[in-house]
Amino acid sequence: MTDNVFQLSCQCNNYPWGKKGQESLAAKLCEKTPGTGFELDNGKEYAEMWMGDYPDLPTKSLKTGELLETILTKNKEILLGKNCIEKFGTQLPFLPKILSIQKALPLQIHPNKDLASRLHQENPEQFTDDNHKPEIAIALSRFEAFAGWKPLSEVQTLFKLQPLQRFLARTYTTFGDETLRSVTQAILEASDEVIAETQKALAAISREEYGEQAYILDLLPRLQQQYSQEDPGNLVALLCMNYMDLSPGESIYIPADGIHAYLSGDIIECMARSNNVLNTGFCPTADRDNIKLFTSSLTFSTHSVEDMLLKSKPSPRSGKGKSLEYAPPMSEFNMLRTVLGKDEMEIIRAVDGPMVMLVTSGNGSMKADGKIHDIKEGYVFFIGQGVELVYETETGLEVYAAYAE
């Protein structure tokens, strides 16, 4: 008979865009769980801690060492529940991660279900599943990101600048989404020389000419330093995409096929159970996926900073009003953020599906299924369906939980 609630042992990966050693929140949280064998090395980059059953960086039960995936397969009715199995199948339908970002992640999109299933059939080694991957990112520190397209009027204003004329098709009557697609493709396909030359020319234009978009002049050297003057990602991000600067607790939602590139900060992310990505820009040329495939997959449903923001609201699951809910449209999961002060408590009403919770700061206790668990910064727990949680703390506590139902 399996426990309904058990502590997890997670792992970090070492992508080169991650923060180094102790500076990485992902690594620091990962290190807090005792008995995992994880040793933080200050010479290494730590990019992501994963908290799910996805095989690329799998999570285990801390007590038994058994893979979460195996435990869920053996006890799916009890842990996932009928409702979740019927809707999403017999695996954990979401994948929460902590990301610690030192420099820009590759410019990317996550293909929708139709494209993902075609790519998975054609190239299962690169596209390891056939699912879509809508994702949300909640800022745990200051968080900078490029996400979604700018309003067309802003892009059009920029493309009146002389150095950008070469990327425009000879004739267009109105600057619409297809113009945006074609300039993006033209930038991505341009030679290294053209990209470097264009960036140099853009840097020489006065702040006045950029008007409200003069931030481009501040960010350009930073991006050039992170990657190179030949990287087309610099131009696509600065000219075509929204630049977002978020504070802790603020969140963005990236729909399937939505263009994004995170720039800096610590975040908690949650996504549908998938690892499919098309990369281009902010990565070595060899890693760049087929530009035609990338640009033909782009969608243009979002056109402003406001379109990308995901507002939290008081959670109907909360018994004491201490939890906010982030509910992305069209996705398999929601996230809860619970913040408790001194001597406060919260009740999280039972969910008709699985949950994964992580303590990001503080300590206290969690009553669940008749047992009391000590919870502390960095502790991660799996919660089976139908279990009510009671958090209590003497000193303060912050908890994030992803769930599906």
Binding-site residues for Zn(2+), in ranges, read 108, 110, 135, 260
- What type of residue sits at position 164? L
Q: Which two tokens stand for residue 377?
A: 């910064």
Contact 353, 84 (CB under 8 A): yes
Residues forming the annotated binding site?
A: 108, 110, 135, 260
**Which of 135, 134, 132, 140 has the alpha carbon at shortest distance from 99?**
140
Contact 303, 310 (CB under 8 A): no
Q: Report the C-alpha gap between 330 and 343 in whole angstroms.
A: 37
Longest Cα separation, the chain? 70
Contact 196, 156 (CB under 8 A): no
**Which of 246, 15, 286, 290 has the alpha carbon at shortest distance from 144?**
246
Contact 359, 377 (CB under 8 A): yes
Structural element, H or E, at residue 73: helix 68-74
Residue with tokens 């992305």: 328
What are the CA-CA distances from residue 314 to residues 317, 321, 323, 349 (Å)? 9, 7, 6, 14
Q: Report the C-alpha gap between 38 and 22 in whole angstroms.
A: 13
Q: Report the C-alpha gap between 312 and 338 in whole angstroms.
A: 12
Contact 30, 379 (CB under 8 A): no
The backbone torsions φ and ψ at residue 109, rounded to the nearest 5 degrees and listed phi first, read -135, 155
Contacting residues for 207 by C-beta, under 8 A, at least 6 apart: 214, 217
- What type of residue sits at position 40? L
Strands 345-348 and 11-13: unpaired
DSSP string, 187-207: HHHS-HHHHHHHHHHHHTS-H
Q: Report the C-alpha gap between 350 and 317 in whole angstroms.
A: 8
Q: Which two tokens stand for residue 10?
A: 């997670």
